[in-house]
Amino acid sequence: EHPHKKARTSQYPGSKVEQSQVPNEKVPGRSNGQSTNLLRTLLALSWPSPCGQTLQWGKGTSFLNSTKGMGMLKEGARMACMSLKMADPEILQVRQGLVGRGLLRPWVPNRAADPISTRWKKDGTGNKVTHPVSERSILQFVAIKRKDRGEWAISGGMVEPGEKISTTLKREFGEEAMSSLQKSRAETQELKKQLHKLFSQEHFVVYKGYLVDPETHNAWMQTEAVNYHDETGEAMDELPLEAGDDAKKVKWVDVTDQLRLCARHSQFIQFVAETRGAHWSEGTCPRCREY
């Protein structure tokens, strides 16, 4: 599936605004640094553009479709290309006809971080539970149910300005899976120690990059997902899970291909399961199957 498909074929979340059906070949890759640089430059030029703070995505759509809007966009692109010494203003083509920030706060990439905390599923006697069909050990991860969209997800959140990703990963897990914002000062200190211990464990970066989620031409998501795994389960088992902030529920969930999570979160979890040799699907060759 084309990575940018969802953003072009459905309504913008929480609205009745249809995203236009831009064909694949007309979509410039967001991995293309030039596109991002160009947008940055356009914003830095502070030319009266459709990217202006006052335009919302709804209004922006009609503005952009107007002759005046398109003219300004092209002129801005031309100026930006001149300043970047780039040849092709077409790189700033309209992706799905929506301009402005939509649901997102910052312009251009909105950085998020997704902590994936895992442990092995155990039975009453402390032995690992294996799946009867795949015969692989079953992994569990901490899932939250989002308040806004009601979907199950990883307890991720946005990177605050100037914040290190490693801090965001800990902070968001604390806020959404341990309700840290509701704790007293003493409890917060204790919680910080627990989180520090958890997040100092063995970990690896699962994914880093563009994320299909609410987006417009000018504001989109990118994330860094990191897996923190507790092999013995000692630290994770003691965790007093309590939903907070963006989360209305939190629980340990078995990892399988039946998971339906928001954004690309199921793919992140699949990658963790396969990397750790855990159960994912009932098929004999999970990597050969199409999901």
Q: Which is nearer to Mg ion, 73 or 269 (CB)?
A: 269
Nearer to ligand RP5, 145 or 276 (CB): 145
Whether 36 contacts 61, CB under 8 Å: no
Q: What φ, ψ does residue 254 adopt, rounded to 5°?
A: -70, 140
From first CA to last CA, the distance across the chain in angstroms is: 11
Which of positions 152-211 make contact with ligand RP5 (CB under 6 A)?
Answer: 153-154, 156-158, 211
Question: Is position 244 an interface residue for Mg ion (rule: CB under 5 A)?
Answer: no
Are 196 and 188 within 8 A, CB to CB?
Answer: no
Map residues 112-151 to x or -, x wherever contact with ligand RP5 holds by CB under 6 A: x-x-------------------------------------
Rounded (5°) CA angle 223-34-36: 40
Q: How many other β-carbons are positioned within 10 Å of the β-carbon of residue 163?
A: 13
CA distances from 247 to 6, 90, 228 (A): 24, 41, 20
Q: Which of 175, 213, 215, 230 binds ligand RP5 (CB under 6 A)?
A: 213
What does the alpha-carbon distance between residue 27 and residue 126 come to, in Å, rounded to a whole number?
Answer: 51
Q: Which does 211 bind (CB under 5 to 8 A by kind): Mg ion, ligand RP5, none?
A: ligand RP5
- Is residue 174 involved in binding Mg ion (CB under 5 A)? no
Which residue of 221, 236, 255, 272 would you call a contact of ligand RP5, by CB under 6 A?
221
For Mg ion, which stretch binds (CB under 5 A), given 98-106, 115-123, 150-158, 189-197?
Answer: 150-158
Binding site for ligand RP5 (CB under 6 A): 112, 114, 153-154, 156-158, 211, 213, 221, 223, 246, 263
